[in-house]
C-alpha cells in the first residue's frame, strides 16, 4: 500500500517559517517547549505535501526525535511532538525522512502516546491524540511499520494496544480510524505474526462477544475487510491446534477451537473458506470425539441465519454432514440429531429442509433409543410457527407414533412434544384457523388413543392431558392481590378439544376425569389413613391403623408405573404428618370444590410440599391429578348447561351442545354430588320447552342428585305437577328420569302409587310409543318405589308377560334379508323397545325384593325366562323365526340381567348350574353383544358386586376376532392384579383357576382331539400370561392336579373332559416353568375345592384308577412335548404371525346349556405316575368346611394307598378308562341307593 498524501493545488513552494530551536536552551521551560511544539504543529498541519519545500523542514526533523522530547515527562510536549512527527511523515510521503531504527522509535512513541492518552473526549490533549490517530488512518503512514526489522513485534504491540483502547467505548470515529490502521497493517504485512492472529481470535472468544461490544465489533470489521489475506492463516491456526492437541488427546482445547469456529462463522464467515473443508474431513476421521465435535459444529453453522448461503456455498460439506445420520457410533448420530433443530428452524432452502425432515423421519426409527428420544426432544424445542410451516403433518403423526415406543424415555419425549405443540396451537385452533386445525387438532385424539395401550402409557397420557391439553386455568390478577380464574374459558377449551375426538377417545377422556370413581375413592381412603396414623403416634387400635395405612399405600402404589418408588413416597408423605398439607389435599379432592379453590389449594399444596419433601413431589403430582376433578369440575356445570341451551341454534352449537350433554349425563350417572350447588338452575331448565335435550339432561341430573341426597329433591307444587305430567305425556326418556326423581320426593309413596295406578289402568289401550313411555316409568318405580308397584303388580306383570314379552314379533322382510345382526338404540322398533323394557321391569322387580322371604318365588320364573332366551339365542323357542337384530338385543338384555341378578347371593346360587351358558355370551356371534356384555361384566366386577367366580368369564375372550374385546379383558385383569392385596388376589384370580378348567370342560367346542385341544390350550395360556407368576405357579399346578381327584357335579360325560383339561393345564404350566426357569415345587398350603361344581370320587379305588389313566391323546402329548422343548416364543413374532380368526358363531346350546358334541375317545394309557401327580392323591381333608369334598365311603385316601399307586408299572390300554368310569358309576349308584 502506498502512503497517501493530502491533495492540494499546485502553488509556489512554501518554506517552514518556524525557526526556533527546540533543544539547547538550558533555561527552556516545559511551557515554553510546549508552546514551540504547538506552534510548529499548527504550521505543519496547514502545509500540503505538494507545495511544501522539504529542505526547510530539515531543521526540526532531528530535534523532534531527540530523547529529550520523546522521553519528556510532560504529556503535552509528547502529544504535540507526536502530532508534528505525524505531519512530517505526511509531508515526506511516500519516503520517510528517518532511518528504520528512528522509525521504529517514532511508531513506538506514537502508539505509546495513544494507549496512554486516548481515553475519552474529556481527557487532556484529546484533540492532539485524535489528530495523530486520524493522520495515521488517512495518510496510511503506519504501513511503514511493515518494512521495519522488528515489524512483527511492533504490529503485535499495535494490535494489543488498539484492542485494549477500544474497550473504553470511545467515539465511533476513533473506532473507524483504528479499523483503517489495522486493516492497512494487515494488507501490507509480508507475514502475519501469530500474536496478531491470536489477538484477533481472542476477540471472538470473549464471553461478551457481540456487535454492541467495541472490541468484538473492531475485530469483525478488520477480519471481514482482510478475509482474503487471513483465510490461509486462520486455517493454519486451527490445523495446528487440532493436530497438536489431538496427538495429546487434549479434547478441551480442540473443543474450544470448534467453538471459536462457530463464533467466527456468525460474523466473519469469509475467514473460514479454508477451514470448512477441514471440518468436512473431520467428519470422516476415526476419532469419535472429533467426529462428534465436527458434526455439532457444522450443524450449528448450517443453523445460523446465513445457513442457507453456507449450504449453497459448500454442497459437499452439507452432503457429508447429512451422511452422519447413519454413523456407526451412537454419539455421532446423537450429535447430528441434536444439531438439526436449528437447521429445521432457520434453513430457508426448500430442498435442504426436506432433506432434514426426511432424515428426522428415519431417525424416529433408529435402533438406539437415545437417538429416537433426541429426535422427539427436538420437537419440544421448536416454536409454533416452525411447527406450522416447516414440519409436515405426517412427520408430526410419525412423532406421535413414538408415544408407543418400547422405551419409556422415547414415550415421554414424543408425547411431551406433540402435547406441547397442541398447547401452543390452541389459540389458533380455538379461532378455527384452517392451517392450525389441519396440523394440530388431531393431537388429543392420538394421545387418548395411546392411553389404552398399557398402564405406563396411560399414566404418561394423563400427565400430558393435565399439563398441556386441558391444563388447569392459571390464576391471573392485574392488581396482584385477588387472583381470578376464567372458569368459562377453561370449560370451553374442553368442549373445543372434544370436537376433534372420536367416541373411543371421548370415553378415554371421561375415564381420566376421575368422575366415575366410587367414593370414597382409594385416594380419599389413603388420606384418611394418613390422618388416622398421625405420624405414628396412635392412641388406640394401633395395629389396625398401621395395617390399614400399609394396605392402602400398596393399593395406591399399584396404580403407578413404578410401584416401589410410589410406596416409598406415599409412606414418606404419611410420616410428614403435616395437617395443613392434609387439609389442602382434602380440599382438592372434594367434589364440591370449585375450580378457583382447586387451583389455589393445589398451588399452595405443592409449594409447601416442595419445601418439606421435594422428593415426593412427582408422586404426589400424579396422586393429585388422579384424585381431583381436574377435567370437569362443579364450576363447569353452568357453562355446560348454557352450551346445551345454545344447541337449538344448530350448526357448530349443536355439536358443542352434544359434547356438553355427554359430560352432564356422565356426571349424573357417576358423581351427581357435583350438582349440589346447581339444583336451582336444573329445576329452572326442566321448564325450557325449546330444548328437549336440556330437559332430559336436567331431569337426569336432578334425579341423580336427589338419589344422592333426598333433601335436594324439588318439593314445590308446580315442579311436582310438571314431573307427573312428564311420566304420562312426554318421551320415554323424560318419563324415565321424571319417575326416578318422583321416587325421591317427600310424598313419593302417594305420588308413585297414583302414577302406577294410572299406567296400569291404561296399559291395554296404549299404542306402542306410549307403551314405551309407560314401561320406562314402571322400570324405575318397580325398584325405587316397590310398594307402590306391588299394588298393581298382578295386572302389570300379566300384561308384560303375555302382551309384550311373549308377543309375536312383527318381522321386517327387508331387515331379514340383510346380514346385519345389530340395531342401535335410536333405530329400534317400539315393539323391541317394549320387550327390552319389560325384561328390565322383571329383573328390577327381582332385585327390589331380593331380601324378602318370597324373593325366589318372584325370581325363579324370571331366571328361567332369561335362561331360555340365552338357550335359544334370543328367542323363546328353538324353531322361532325372529329378526336377528332383535334376537341380539334380547340376548344381550338377558345376559346383562343375569349379571345384575347374580349380584345377589341367592340369585347367583340359582344361576350357578347354568353359569357356562351365561359365560359363553362373551363369545356371542354378534360383536356388539360381546362388547357390551364385557363392559357390563367389568363394571360389576370393578364394583365387586359379582362373585369372584365370574372373573373366569374374562379368560374366554382370547379367540375373539376383535382386539378391543381382548384388550378390555386384559386391561381389567392387569390393573386389578397390580392393585390387589395378596390375599384378595389369591381369592379373586388364583383360586378360580380350577373353575376356569371346569368351564372349559363344559365348553361346546371342547373335544378330546388333537384338533380341538390346542384351541383349549390358548384359553389356559391366556390365563397364565396374565395371572401366573413365580410365586403362584405351584398353586396353579396344584389346582390343575386336583381335577383328577374329583368329578364333575353335573354329568359323567363332562368328568372325562375335566380330567383331560386338567392334564393339559399341568403340561402347559410345566412348559411355562421351564421356559421361564421358574422352580415348580409342591404347594405346601391347603385349598378348598368348590362344592357347587365338583363332587368327590365315590371311592379310593376309583380315585386311584383315575390317577393312573392318561386322558390326552398321543398326538396332543407329542405337541405338548414339542412345545415344552421349544421354550419361550418371541411375543412380537407370535403377534406378527397370528391371523385374526373368523368370527366365532357358536351353535345354539341344548336346554341344559351345553352342547352335546360327538366325542372322539382318545387312547388312554396307564403308566408310571409322576411325583407331581402323586400329590393330587392326597386326602381332601384340606378342602375347607362348607364346600368340603371327600370321597364317599372313605374319609380320606391313606398314605399307604398313595405309595401303592406309585409302584404301579403296568400300562393298560383303552379298557383302563372303561373300568375307571364303570367303577365310578357303580359306586355312585350304590351311594344313591343307600341314601
pLDDT in tens, 487-533: 899 999 999 999 999 988 999 999 899 898 888 889 999 999 999 88
Write out pLDDT tens, residues 153-169.
Answer: 888 888 888 888 887 67
Asked if the model's pLDDT at residue 948 lies above 90, the reply is: yes
Asked if the model's pLDDT at residue 998 lies above 80, the reply is: yes
Average of per-residue pLDDT values in the chain: 83
Q: What are the backbone dihedrals phi and psi of residue 14, each rounded to the nearest 5 degrees, phi first?
A: -110, 135
Does residue 257 or residue 44 have the better pLDDT? 257
Does residue 979 or residue 408 have the better pLDDT? 408
> Could you tell me if residue 514 is left (phi over 0), alpha (psi between -120 and 50 degrees) or otherwise beta?
left
Measured CA to CA, the distance from residue 956 to residue 923 in angstroms comes to 7
Q: What is the DSSP string of 468-507?
A: IISPPPPPB-SSSSS-B--HHHHHHHHHHHHTT--HHHHH
Residue in the structure block whose three cell numbers are 422343548: 1125
Measured CA to CA, the distance from residue 870 to residue 839 in angstroms comes to 13
Q: How confident is the model at residue 981 (pLDDT cuts 50, 70, 90)?
A: confident
The 3-state secondary structure of 134-166 reads HHHHHHCHHHHHHHCCCHHHHHHHHHHHHHHHH
Strand, helix or coil for residue 14: strand
In this prediction, residues 404-411 reach a mean pLDDT of: 92
Q: What is the DSSP string of 632-657?
A: S-GGGHHHHHHHHHHGGG-THHHHHH
In this prediction, residues 943-950 reach a mean pLDDT of: 92
Cβ atoms of 171 and 225 within 8 Å: the answer is no
Q: Which residues contact 31 (CB under 8 A, 6 or more apart)?
A: none
Highest mean pLDDT: which range of 124-128, 1009-1013, 1025-1029 = 1025-1029
Asked if the model's pLDDT at residue 966 lies above 90, the reply is: yes
Q: How confident is the model at residue 1133 (pLDDT cuts 50, 70, 90)?
A: very low
Cell digits for 1049? 357335579
Write out pLDDT tens, residues 878-935.
Answer: 888 888 889 999 999 999 999 999 999 999 999 999 999 999 999 999 999 999 999 9
Q: What are the backbone dihedrals phi and psi of residue 163, each rounded to the nearest 5 degrees, phi first?
A: -70, -25
Q: What is the dihedral of CA 352, 357, 359, 360, to 10 degrees?
A: 140
Highest mean pLDDT: which range of 83-92, 480-489, 1037-1046 = 1037-1046
Q: Which has the closest alpha carbon to 998: 976, 1023, 980?
A: 1023
Measured CA to CA, the distance from residue 567 to residue 575 in angstroms comes to 12
What is residue 679's predicted lDDT score, i.e. its pLDDT?
A: 92
What is residue 705's predicted lDDT score, i.e. its pLDDT?
A: 92
Helices (H) and strands (E) in the chain, counts: 62, 4
What is residue 113's predicted lDDT score, i.e. its pLDDT?
A: 82
Measured CA to CA, the distance from residue 994 to residue 1080 in angstroms comes to 18
Write out pLDDT tens, residues 296-312.
Answer: 999 999 988 888 889 99
Q: Return the half-sphere exposure (C-beta side, CA atoms, 13 A cut-off) of residue 596.
A: 9
> Buried b / exposed e across 195-216, counting CB within 10 Å, b at 16+?
ebbebbbebbeeeebeeebbbb
Strand, helix or coil for residue 1046: strand
How many CB atoms are closer than 10 A to CB 124?
A: 12
Cell digits for 108? 513506538
Strand, helix or coil for residue 52: strand
Measured CA to CA, the distance from residue 133 to residue 222 in angstroms comes to 16
Cβ atoms of 1087 and 1032 within 8 Å: the answer is no
Cβ atoms of 295 and 248 within 8 Å: the answer is no
Measured CA to CA, the distance from residue 935 to residue 1086 in angstroms comes to 35
Asked if the model's pLDDT at residue 371 lies above 90, the reply is: yes
What percent of the chain is predicted at pLDDT more than 70? 87
Q: Which residues contact 147 (CB under 8 A, 6 or more apart)?
A: 100
What percent of the chain is predicted at pLDDT more than 90? 39
In this prediction, residues 548-556 reach a mean pLDDT of: 90
CA 92 centroid distance within chain? 81
What is residue 403's predicted lDDT score, i.e. its pLDDT?
A: 93
The CA angle 528-530-534, to the nearest 5 degrees, is 115
The 3-state secondary structure of 669-737 reads HHCHHHHHHHHHHHHHHCCCCCCHHHHHHHHHHHHHHHHHCHHHCCCCHHHHHHHHHHHHHCCHHHHHH
Asked if the model's pLDDT at residue 846 lies above 70, the reply is: yes
Q: How confident is the model at residue 821 (pLDDT cuts 50, 70, 90)?
A: confident
Asked if the model's pLDDT at residue 1175 lies above 50, the reply is: no
Range with the lowest mean pLDDT among 544-558, 666-680, 1187-1201? Answer: 1187-1201
- Rounded (10°) angle between helices 1114-1126 and 1013-1027: 40
The β-bridge relationship of strands 1165-1166 and 1046-1048 is unpaired
The CA angle 152-154-155, to the nearest 5 degrees, is 65
Angstrom CA distances, 486 to 643, 1140, 1141, stand at: 16, 50, 52
CA 331 centroid distance within chain? 27
What is residue 748's predicted lDDT score, i.e. its pLDDT?
A: 84
Q: How confident is the model at residue 561 (pLDDT cuts 50, 70, 90)?
A: confident
Cβ atoms of 796 and 762 within 8 Å: the answer is no
What residues form DSSP beta bridges with 1046?
1096
Give the DSSP letter of residue 1109.
Answer: E
Measured CA to CA, the distance from residue 624 to residue 608 in angstroms comes to 14
Cβ atoms of 218 and 255 within 8 Å: the answer is no
What is residue 1158's predicted lDDT score, i.e. its pLDDT?
A: 35
The count of residues in the chain is 1235
Measured CA to CA, the distance from residue 835 to residue 831 in angstroms comes to 6
Q: Which residues contact 1161 (CB under 8 A, 6 or more apart)?
A: 1008, 1214, 1217
Measured CA to CA, the distance from residue 298 to residue 262 in angstroms comes to 8
Q: How confident is the model at residue 27 (pLDDT cuts 50, 70, 90)?
A: low
Asked if the model's pLDDT at residue 1115 lies above 50, the reply is: yes
As a 3-state breakdown, the chain gives helix, strand, coil percent values, each rounded to 5, of 70, 0, 30
Q: What are the backbone dihedrals phi and psi of residue 1095, each rounded to the nearest 5 degrees, phi first?
A: -130, 155
What is residue 1184's predicted lDDT score, i.e. its pLDDT?
A: 34
What is residue 1204's predicted lDDT score, i.e. its pLDDT?
A: 33
Asked if the model's pLDDT at residue 172 lies above 70, the reply is: yes
In this prediction, residues 1040-1049 reach a mean pLDDT of: 90
Q: Which residues contact 362 (CB under 8 A, 6 or more apart)?
A: 325
What is residue 475's predicted lDDT score, i.e. its pLDDT?
A: 60
In this prediction, residues 263-290 reach a mean pLDDT of: 90
Q: How confident is the model at residue 425 (pLDDT cuts 50, 70, 90)?
A: very high
Cell digits for 1017? 390350550
Asked if the model's pLDDT at residue 599 lies above 50, the reply is: yes
Strand, helix or coil for residue 933: helix
Cβ atoms of 608 and 584 within 8 Å: the answer is yes
What is residue 477's predicted lDDT score, i.e. its pLDDT?
A: 45
What is residue 651's predicted lDDT score, i.e. its pLDDT?
A: 72
What is residue 1182's predicted lDDT score, i.e. its pLDDT?
A: 35
How many CB atoms are closer than 10 A to CB 481?
A: 6
Asked if the model's pLDDT at residue 124 lies above 90, the reply is: no
Q: How confident is the model at residue 1207 (pLDDT cuts 50, 70, 90)?
A: very low
Cell digits for 953? 368369564
In this prediction, residues 1197-1210 reach a mean pLDDT of: 33
Strand, helix or coil for residue 1165: strand
Q: How far apart are the first and last CA of the chain?
A: 132
In this prediction, residues 313-335 reach a mean pLDDT of: 93
> Could you tell me if residue 159 is left (phi over 0), alpha (psi between -120 and 50 degrees) or otherwise beta?
alpha
Write out pLDDT tens, residues 205-224.
Answer: 887 777 878 888 899 999 99
Cβ atoms of 279 and 319 within 8 Å: the answer is no
Longest dimension (CA), the chain: 159
Amino acid at each position: 500500500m502506498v502512503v497517501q498524501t493530502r491533495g492540494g493545488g499546485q502553488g509556489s513552494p512554501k518554506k517552514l517559517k518556524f525557526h526556533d530551536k527546540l533543544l539547547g536552551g538550558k533555561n527552556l521551560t516545559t511551557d515554553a517547549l510546549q508552546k514551540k511544539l504547538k506552534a510548529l504543529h499548527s504550521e505543519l498541519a496547514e502545509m500540503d505535501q505538494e507545495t511544501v519545500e522539504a529542505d526547510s523542514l530539515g531543521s526540526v526533523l532531528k530535534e523532534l526525535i531527540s530523547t529529550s522530547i520523546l522521553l519528556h515527562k510532560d504529556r503535552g510536549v509528547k502529544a504535540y511532538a507526536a502530532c508534528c512527527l505525524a505531519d512530517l511523515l505526511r509531508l515526506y510521503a511516500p519516503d520517510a525522512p528517518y532511518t528504520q531504527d528512528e522509525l521504529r522509535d517514532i511508531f513506538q512513541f506514537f502508539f505509546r502516546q495513544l494507549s496512554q492518552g486516548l481515553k475519552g473526549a474529556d481527557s487532556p490533549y484529546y484533540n492532539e491524540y485524535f489528530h495523530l490517530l486520524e493522520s495515521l488512518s488517512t495518510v496510511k503512514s503506519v504501513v511503514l511499520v511493515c518494512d521495519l526489522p522488528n515489524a512483527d513485534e511492533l504490529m503485535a504491540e499495535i494490535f494489543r494496544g488498539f484492542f485494549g483502547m477500544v474497550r473504553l467505548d470511545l467515539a465511533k470515529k476513533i473506532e473507524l480510524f483504528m479499523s483503517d490502521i489495522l486493516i492497512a497493517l494487515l494488507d501490507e504485512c509480508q507475514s502475519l505474526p501469530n500474536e496478531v492472529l491470536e489477538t484477533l481470535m481472542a476477540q471472538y472468544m470473549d464471553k461478551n462477544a457481540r456487535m454492541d461490544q467495541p472490541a468484538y465489533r473492531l475485530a469483525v470489521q478488520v477480519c471481514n475487510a482482510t478475509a482474503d489475506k487471513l483465510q490461509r492463516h486462520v486455517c493454519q491456526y486451527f490445523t495446528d491446534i487440532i493436530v497438536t492437541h489431538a496427538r495429546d488427546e487434549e479434547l478441551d482445547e480442540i473443543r474450544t477451537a470448534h467453538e471459536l469456529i462457530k463464533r467466527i462463522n456468525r460474523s466473519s464467515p469469509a475467514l473460514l473458506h479454508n477451514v470448512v473443508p477441514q471440518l468436512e474431513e473431520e467428519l470422516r476421521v476415526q476419532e469419535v470425539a472429533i467426529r462428534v465435535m465436527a458434526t455439532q459444529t457444522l450443524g450449528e453453522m448450517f443453523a445460523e441465519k446465513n445457513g442457507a448461503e453456507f449450504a449453497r456455498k459448500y454442497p459437499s460439506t452439507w452432503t457429508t454432514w447429512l451422511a452422519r445420520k447413519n454413523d456407526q457410533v451412537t454419539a455421532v448420530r446423537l450429535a447430528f440429531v441434536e444439531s438439526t433443530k436449528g437447521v429445521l428452524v432457520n434453513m430457508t432452502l426448500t430442498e435442504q429442509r426436506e432433506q432434514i425432515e426426511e432424515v428426522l423421519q428415519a431417525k424416529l426409527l433408529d435402533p438406539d433409543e437415545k437417538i429416537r428420544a433426541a429426535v422427539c426432544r427436538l420437537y419440544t424445542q421448536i416454536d409454533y410457527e416452525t411447527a406450522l410451516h416447516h414440519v409436515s403433518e405426517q412427520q408430526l403423526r410419525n412423532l406421535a407414533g413414538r408415544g408407543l415406543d418400547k422405551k419409556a424415555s422415547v414415550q415421554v419425549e414424543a408425547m411431551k412434544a406433540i402435547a406441547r405443540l397442541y398447547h401452543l396451537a390452541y389459540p389458533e385452533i380455538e379461532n378455527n384457523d384452517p392451517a392450525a386445525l389441519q396440523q394440530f387438532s388431531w393431537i388429543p385424539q392420538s394421545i387418548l388413543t395411546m392411553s389404552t395401550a398399557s398402564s405406563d402409557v396411560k399414566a404418561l397420557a394423563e400427565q400430558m392431558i393435565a399439563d398441556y391439553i386441558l391444563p388447569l386455568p392459571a390464576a391471573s390478577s392485574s392488581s396482584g392481590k385477588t387472583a381470578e380464574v376464567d372458569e368459562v374459558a377453561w370449560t370451553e377449551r374442553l368442549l373445543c378439544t372434544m370436537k376433534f375426538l372420536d367416541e373411543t377417545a371421548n370415553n378415554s377422556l371421561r375415564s381420566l376425569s376421575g368422575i366415575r370413581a366410587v367414593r370414597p375413592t382409594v385416594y380419599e381412603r389413603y388420606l384418611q389413613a394418613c390422618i388416622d396414623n398421625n405420624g405414628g403416634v396412635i392412641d388406640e387400635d394401633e395395629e389396625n391403623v398401621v395395617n390399614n395405612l400399609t394396605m392402602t399405600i400398596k393399593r395406591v402404589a399399584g396404580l403407578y408405573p413404578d410401584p416401589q418408588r410410589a410406596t416409598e413416597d406415599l409412606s414418606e408423605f404419611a410420616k410428614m404428618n403435616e395437617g395443613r398439607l392434609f387439609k389442602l389435599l382434602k380440599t382438592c379432592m372434594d367434589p364440591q370444590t370449585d375450580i378457583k379453590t382447586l387451583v389455589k389449594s393445589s398451588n399452595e399444596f405443592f409449594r409447601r410440599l416442595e419445601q418439606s419433601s421435594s422428593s415426593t413431589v412427582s408422586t404426589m403430582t400424579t396422586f393429585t391429578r388422579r384424585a381431583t376433578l381436574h377435567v370437569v369440575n362443579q364450576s363447569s356445570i353452568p357453562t355446560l348447561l348454557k352450551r346445551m341451551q345454545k344447541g337449538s341454534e344448530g350448526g357448530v352449537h349443536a355439536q358443542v351442545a352434544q359434547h356438553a350433554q355427554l359430560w352432564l349425563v356422565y356426571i349424573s350417572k357417576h358423581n351427581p354430588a357435583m350438582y349440589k350447588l346447581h339444583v336451582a338452575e336444573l329445576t329452572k331448565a326442566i321448564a325450557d320447552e325449546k330444548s328437549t335435550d336440556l330437559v332430559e339432561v336436567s331431569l337426569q341430573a336432578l334425579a341423580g342428585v336427589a338419589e344422592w341426597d333426598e333433601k335436594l329433591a324439588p318439593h314445590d307444587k308446580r315442579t311436582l305437577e310438571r314431573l307427573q305430567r312428564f311420566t304420562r305425556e312426554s318421551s320415554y326418556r323424560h318419563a324415565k328420569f321424571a319417575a326416578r326423581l318422583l321416587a325421591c320426593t317427600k310424598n313419593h309413596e302417594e305420588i308413585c302409587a297414583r302414577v302406577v295406578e294410572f299406567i296400569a289402568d291404561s296399559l291395554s289401550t296404549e299404542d306402542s310409543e306410549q307403551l314405551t313411555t309407560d314401561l320406562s316409568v314402571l322400570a324405575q318405580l318397580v325398584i325405587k318405589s316397590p310398594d307402590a308397584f306391588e299394588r298393581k303388580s298382578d295386572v302389570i306383570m300379566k300384561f308384560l308377560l303375555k302382551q309384550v314379552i311373549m308377543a309375536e314379533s312383527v318381522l321386517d322382510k327387508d331387515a331379514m334379508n340383510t346380514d346385519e345382526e345389530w340395531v342401535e338404540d335410536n333405530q329400534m322398533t317400539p315393539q323391541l323397545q317394549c320387550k327390552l323394557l319389560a325384561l328390565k321391569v322383571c329383573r328390577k322387580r327381582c332385585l327390589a325384593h331380593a331380601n324378602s322371604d318370597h324373593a325366589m318365588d318372584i325370581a325363579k320364573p324370571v331366571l328361567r325366562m332369561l335362561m331360555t332366551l340365552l338357550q335359544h339365542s334370543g328367542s323363546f323357542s328353538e324353531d322361532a323365526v325372529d329378526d336377528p337384530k332383535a334376537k341380539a338385543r334380547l340376548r344381550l338384555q338377558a345376559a346383562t340381567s343375569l349379571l345384575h341378578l347374580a349380584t345377589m347371593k341367592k340369585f347367583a346360587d340359582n344361576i350357578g348350574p347354568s353359569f357356562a351358558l351365561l359365560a359363553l355370551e362373551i363369545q356371542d356371534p354378534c360383536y356388539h353383544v360381546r362388547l357390551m356384555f364385557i363392559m357390563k361384566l367389568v363394571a360389576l366386577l370393578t364394583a365387586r358386586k359379582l362373585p369372584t367366580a365370574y372373573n373366569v368369564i374374562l379368560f374366554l375372550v382370547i379367540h375373539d376376532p376383535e382386539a378391543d374385546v381382548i384388550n378390555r379383558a386384559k386391561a381389567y385383569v392387569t390393573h386389578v392384579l397390580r392393585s390387589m392385596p395378596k390375599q384378595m388376589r389369591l381369592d379373586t384370580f388364583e383360586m378360580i383357576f380350577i373353575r376356569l378348567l371346569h368351564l372349559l370342560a363344559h365348553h361346546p367346542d371342547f373335544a378330546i382331539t388333537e384338533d380341538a385341544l390346542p384351541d383349549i390350550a390358548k384359553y389356559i395360556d391366556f390365563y397364565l400370561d396374565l395371572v401366573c407368576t413365580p410365586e403362584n405357579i405351584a398353586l396353579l399346578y396344584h389346582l390343575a392336579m386336583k381335577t383328577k381327584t374329583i368329578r364333575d357335579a353335573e354329568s359323567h360325560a363332562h368328568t372325562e373332559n375335566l380330567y383331560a383339561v386338567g392334564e393339559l393345564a399341568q403340561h402347559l404350566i410345566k412348559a411355562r416353568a421351564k421356559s421361564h426357569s421358574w422352580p415348580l415345587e409342591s404347594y405346601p398350603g391347603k385349598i378348598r375345592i368348590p362344592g357347587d361344581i365338583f363332587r368327590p370320587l365315590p371311592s379310593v379305588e376309583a380315585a386311584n384308577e383315575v390317577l393312573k389313566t392318561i386322558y390326552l391323546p398321543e398326538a396332543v402329548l407329542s405337541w405338548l412335548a414339542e412345545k415344552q422343548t421349544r421354550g419361550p416364543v418371541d411375543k412380537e413374532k407370535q403377534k406378527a404371525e397370528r391371523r385374526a380368526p373368523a368370527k366365532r358363531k357358536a351353535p345354539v346350546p341344548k336346554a341344559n346349556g351345553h352342547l352335546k358334541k360327538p366325542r372322539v375317545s382318545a387312547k388312554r394309557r396307564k403308566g408310571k405316575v409322576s411325583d407331581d401327580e402323586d400329590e393330587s392323591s392326597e386326602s381332601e381333608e384340606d378342602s375347607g368346611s362348607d364346600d368340603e369334598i371327600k370321597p364317599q365311603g372313605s374319609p380320606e385316601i391313606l398314605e399307604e394307598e398313595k405309595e401303592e399307586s406309585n409302584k404301579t408299572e403296568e400300562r393298560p390300554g383303552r379298557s383302563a378308562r372303561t373300568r375307571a368310569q364303570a367303577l365310578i358309576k357303580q359306586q355312585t349308584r350304590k351311594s344313591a341307593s343307600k341314601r
